[in-house]
Structure 1
Amino acid sequence: MNDKPYLIPAQMAVYQEEIKKSLFITQLSHTASIDEAKAFIDTVRQQHNEAGHNCWGFVAGRPENSMLWGFSDDREPSGTAGKPILSQLSGSGVGEICAVVTRYSGGVKLGTGGLVKAYGGGVQQALKLLQTIEKKITTKLRLQLDYAFMPIAQALMTQFSVLEVSANYGESIDLILEIERRQLEDFSLAVINKSGAKAMITPLEDNKNN
């Protein structure tokens, strides 16, 4: 299980160019799953339903997870559109991203090499316009502690950038926290050491964001 953060799109990016009378429109979007990628592809198809081709590729998870990759030539000659699109995406280091390249043909044939260059090049240029943010891989845990330990626990939560999800104040304090998964072990050890092993930590089910 990879706990390392990775980049995802912060917003859409669009690039268009005309090549030998054909108009190529490249749209990049954040899609966190295969279903989201397919929904984005369908949306672009509806926007450009008069276009001859809406070719696409996606990386629907971590950048290196090829099990979540997909592509389509959408009636262009095999290997001239989908693969060049996916090649640019998979080499970008950005995850959870989908690209749809729409082509309005101008009647002039580009040839196999021209199509590969046009589709791959459009995505390459769109990636230069793309703004990204870092996605941290988090998990949740339960922290049960006495009131006397709360100030120290709050200091540790600040130190490890822990987010308080919920809190229940009864005879003792019962917190649900969210933390970067790679920080979990160090935070747990710090809590146990600082509390003299009186605070209780219980890891909860990991978020499905890896």
Structure 2
Amino acid sequence: MSRNYPVPAGFLERETEVKKSRFIARVAPVSSRDEVKARLEQAHKDHPDARHICWAYQIGRPGAAAEAGMNDDGEPSGTAGKPILSVIQHKDMGDVLVLVIRYFGGIKLGAGGLVRAYAGATEAVLSAVERVIQPPTSRVTITMTFADEQPLRHWCEQNEAQLDQVDYGSRVVAGIAVPVDRLNGLSEFCDARGIGYSLEN
């Protein structure tokens, strides 16, 4: 079960400029690597001419993230992804992705300048974004038929539950993060359809 912790309230973008290089920082709430990948693909579509699109994310409770990642995207090692992640960690925020899109302005910034620029861009967007508290959730494993998958997805959308892992075999096995106060509703839904479910510790 997760603790209450702040997450970004939604998508936000802020732009900074350092020695004619443009740094466009985007923040978004994420709860899986698939969401990180989708946000990254969207950034590449939106900014096909950008020199670099660097990023970092952490999923889970601040200070004890279940998963984190970063990427320098061609910038010198440790000058982009690491400072982005460092600012995220200092902001005490979970389930967060920051992408920083750089348009090179013709003046090299040096390693120290890059670290300051990427950290500054991250700071600007994270200071501006609103926060919401993530309600406590429980992990539930669902075993169902293919016909049950769409109704379950609909239930999750209606009840702020996150379906984040689906394996297809002879039956469909799905992992869901369910707000604790919606567990009774999920068990009623499953019982009504004859769906198997188990609560993870």
Give me the TM-score of the superposition, normalised by structure 1: 0.66
2:81: which partner in 1?
82
Q: How far 1:34 sits from its partner (Å)?
A: 1.7
Q: Quick check: 1:139–1:204 contact (8 Å CA) kept in 2?
A: no
Q: How far 1:65 sits from its partner (Å)?
A: 3.2
1:35: which partner in 2?
34
Structure 1, unaligned runs of 5 or more: 142-160, 169-173, 176-202
CA–CA separation in structure 1 for the residues paired with 2:49 and 2:104 = 11
1:144: which partner in 2?
none
Q: Aligned pairs, how many?
A: 155
1:205: which partner in 2?
199
Of the three residues 165, 170, 182, the one matched with 2:185 is 165
**CA distance 1:60–1:166, shift in 2 (3 Å):** closer
Q: How far 1:64 sits from its partner (Å)?
A: 2.3
Q: Quick check: 1:33–1:61 contact (8 Å CA) kept in 2?
A: no
**CA distance 1:77–1:134, shift in 2 (3 Å):** same
Amino acid at match of 2:83: P
* Percent identical: 37
SS at match of 2:39: helix
- Counterparts of residues 25-174 of structure 1 (less than 5 Å): 25-139=24-138, 162-163=181-182, 165=185
CA–CA separation in structure 2 for the residues paired with 1:31 and 1:49 = 23
Question: For 1:145-200, what per-residue CA distance to the aligned partner results, in whole angstroms no more than 9, with x for missing partners?
Answer: xxxxxxxxxxxxxxxx95562797xxxxx99xxxxxxxxxxxxxxxxxxxxxxxxx
CA–CA separation in structure 2 for the residues paired with 1:62 and 1:162 = 19
Q: Quick check: 2:3–2:61 contact (8 Å CA) kept in 1?
A: no
CA–CA separation in structure 1 for the residues paired with 2:187 and 2:23 = 52
Structure 2, unaligned runs of 5 or more: 141-179
Amino acid at match of 2:63: E
Root-mean-square deviation (CA), in Å?
A: 2.6
SS at match of 2:115: helix
CA–CA separation in structure 2 for the residues paired with 1:137 and 1:120 = 30
**CA distance 1:86–1:140, shift in 2 (3 Å):** closer
Q: How far 1:67 sits from its partner (Å)?
A: 4.7
Q: Quick check: 1:84–1:120 contact (8 Å CA) kept in 2?
A: yes
CA–CA separation in structure 2 for the residues paired with 1:97 and 1:67 = 12
**CA distance 1:167–1:105, shift in 2 (3 Å):** closer
CA–CA separation in structure 2 for the residues paired with 1:62 and 1:29 = 16
2:18: which partner in 1?
19
SS at match of 2:185: strand
Give the structure with higher Rg (CA): 1
SS at match of 2:121: helix
CA–CA separation in structure 2 for the residues paired with 1:47 and 1:137 = 34
Q: Quick check: 2:2–2:138 contact (8 Å CA) kept in 1?
A: no
CA–CA separation in structure 1 for the residues paired with 2:187 and 2:68 = 39
